[in-house]
Structure 1
Amino acid sequence: MFPIRDHNPSGRTPHVTRLLIVLNVAIFLTYWYGLGSERAIGQFFMQWGLVPARIAFGEGYWTFATSMFLHGGWMHLLGNMLFLHVFGDNMEDRMGHGRFLAFYLGAGLAAALAQMAADPASLVPMVGASGAIAGVLGGYLLLYPKARVDVLFIFIVFFKVFPIPAWIVLGVWFGLQLFSGATTPTDAGGVAYWAHVGGFVAGVGLAFPVFLRIGGVRFWSVTDGAPPHPEAVYPLSRSRLPRVARRRERGPWDG
């Protein structure tokens, strides 16, 4: 299932969210098509991705930042940017541009530390904005638990969009990360589940001062956990294809 949009419009232009998306895409295109081979890209990830064993040895501290802007493929990139696009604008709107950038980077740092704690001797480079974006999801869940999110469900050839409260969408996502992290060996490579968990928890914690400043539980009581302004409405547009009337065959009972 894929969240494609929320019903929570923002009041200001999300410059930082858009800048982060542009940077991630531009950096990905530069090395994905510039290096020319999988081997070169692998060496690039070892240099600029976060390798826990390397950090434990006292080297490569800059990769805490650089690893947040690298992705292992098109689906990795597009999935992360979709989540950032859907949920980032509201967090930036509430926090302001500068604080949101600090929040994003702080959640990404916490995510990297969580993954390192899970396997500090790992030689697998961690890349991706997933941990920082998980922090955005955690903060969004705290501030707007009942904001509706349109989710695209795809099951073989069946697909349909359902509006679902954010607390269900994000709660299920977080539960899946916890379950997968607990059942997947940390040295198996692939998805850094504990980075997702760490980023999400950090996002809730880093957003909590904002939550208190805007009224805490009283904010929920005023808005009922939904956006504090009229939510966006997406009316279904009618199809432009002409409708063909169904022909009715005459039977022996027709006059």
Structure 2
Amino acid sequence: MFPIRDHNPSGRTPYVTYVLMAANVGIFLSYVGIMQDARLINSFWVDWALIPARLDAGQGSYTLVTSMFLHGGWMHLAGNMLFLFIFGDNIEDEMGHAGYLLFYVAAGIAAGWVQYASAPASVVPTVGASGAIAGVMGAYLLLFPKAKVDILFIFIIFFRIFPIPAWIMLAVWFALQFVGGVGSDPDTGGVAYWAHAGGFVAGLALALPVWLKRGGPAFWQRTDGHPPHPEARYRVRSSNIPKVSRRRGPKGPWS
């Protein structure tokens, strides 16, 4: 189950979101060729990934920024860019280009610090834009809780698109990150759940001035949690599982 689009068109071209996406893709392409060489890629991670033990030793503070432009594989990159593409344009629209860029970097740094705090002695490299993107999602929850988001649900051969309020999708996502963080061991690697949860909370906090400038609770009352402009409309058709008719022959059961 993952989002494929929202119904919240932006009023300006999201140049910063596009530049961030291009930077993430371009940087990944610059080192993807060494990912099959364990010695080279491990050396690369040591130099540029966030390693909590290095921060704990007072080294590598710059990796709080560089790590958010690195990814561990094609699916890691594609998933993060999908979420950034869906939610980033509207936050950029509300904050302006420069404000949004500062917000994005600040949320990513906050996510890195939370990941560090969860296991300060860990030598496991942390990479990915998901902490910063989680901040974008936290801001989206505050500003547009009832904006419709189309969710693609896949179960074996059955798939269907469901439009649901953003707050449901984002709240479930955050809950999964929090539960995952409680039940995981940061020293063994895997998903950086605490970076996701920390980035999300940081995004909520950093977006508060924008929300208050719009009127705070009065903004929600005016919009009822929906975007303050007409929502985009898509024709969503339900998918059906193919039906196969069976004809029983004169003898013998079907297997």
| TM above 0.5 | yes
The residue number in structure 2 matching 1:122 is 122
Amino acid in the other structure paired with 1:95: M
Aligned length: 240
Amino acid in the other structure paired with 1:225: G
Amino acid in the other structure paired with 1:222: R
The correspondence of residues 19-168 of structure 1 with structure 2, limited to 5 A, is 19-33=19-33, 37-168=37-168
Question: For residues 37-73 of structure 1, what are the alpha-carbon distances to aligned partners after superposition, in whole Å with 9 as ceiling and x for unaligned?
Answer: 2431222112100101011111111111100100000
Residue 235 of structure 1 and its aligned partner are, at CA, apart by: 2.0
Q: d(CA) in 2 for partners of 1:68 and 1:185?
A: 21
Q: d(CA) in 2 for partners of 1:39 and 1:225?
A: 50
Question: For residues 168-220 of structure 1, what are the alpha-carbon distances to aligned partners after superposition, in whole Å with 9 as ceiling and x for unaligned?
Answer: 00000000000000011121201110000110000000000000000101111
Q: d(CA) in 1 for partners of 2:153 and 2:45?
A: 33
Query: 2:34 touches 2:41 (CA, 8 Å); kept in 1?
Result: no
Residue aligned with 1:72, SS: coil
Q: d(CA) in 1 for partners of 2:175 and 2:80?
A: 18
Q: d(CA) in 2 for partners of 1:90 and 1:34?
A: 36
Query: 2:34 touches 2:40 (CA, 8 Å); kept in 1?
Result: no
Amino acid in the other structure paired with 2:164: I
The residue number in structure 2 matching 1:217 is 217
The residue number in structure 1 matching 2:180 is 180
Residue 116 of structure 1 and its aligned partner are, at CA, apart by: 0.6
For structure 2, the residue ranges without an aligned partner over 5 or more in a row are 238-255
Q: 1:197 to 1:236 in 2, by over 3 A?
A: closer
Amino acid in the other structure paired with 2:57: F
Query: 2:54 touches 2:60 (CA, 8 Å); kept in 1?
Result: yes
Residue aligned with 1:11, SS: coil
Q: d(CA) in 2 for partners of 1:162 and 1:78?
A: 21
Question: For residues 125-169 of structure 1, what are the alpha-carbon distances to aligned partners after superposition, in whole Å with 9 as ceiling and x for unaligned?
Answer: 110001000000000000000000001111111111100100000
Identity value in percent: 63
Q: d(CA) in 2 for partners of 1:49 and 1:174?
A: 24
Matched, 1:170 2:170: yes
The correspondence of residues 171-250 of structure 1 with structure 2, limited to 5 A, is 171-236=171-236
Amino acid in the other structure paired with 2:56: A
- State the TM-score, normalized to the length of structure 1: 0.91
Q: d(CA) in 2 for partners of 1:132 and 1:123?
A: 21
Q: d(CA) in 1 for partners of 2:150 and 2:35?
A: 37
Q: d(CA) in 1 for partners of 2:165 and 2:46?
A: 40
Residue 36 of structure 1 and its aligned partner are, at CA, apart by: 5.6
- State the TM-score, normalized to the length of structure 2: 0.91
Residue aligned with 1:163, SS: strand
Q: d(CA) in 1 for partners of 2:26 and 2:42?
A: 18
The residue number in structure 1 matching 2:252 is none
Q: d(CA) in 2 for partners of 1:94 and 1:35?
A: 38
Residue aligned with 2:198, SS: helix
The residue number in structure 1 matching 2:241 is none
Query: 2:11 touches 2:93 (CA, 8 Å); kept in 1?
Result: yes
Residue aligned with 1:161, SS: strand
Residue 34 of structure 1 and its aligned partner are, at CA, apart by: 5.3
Residue 35 of structure 1 and its aligned partner are, at CA, apart by: 6.2
Residue 8 of structure 1 and its aligned partner are, at CA, apart by: 0.2
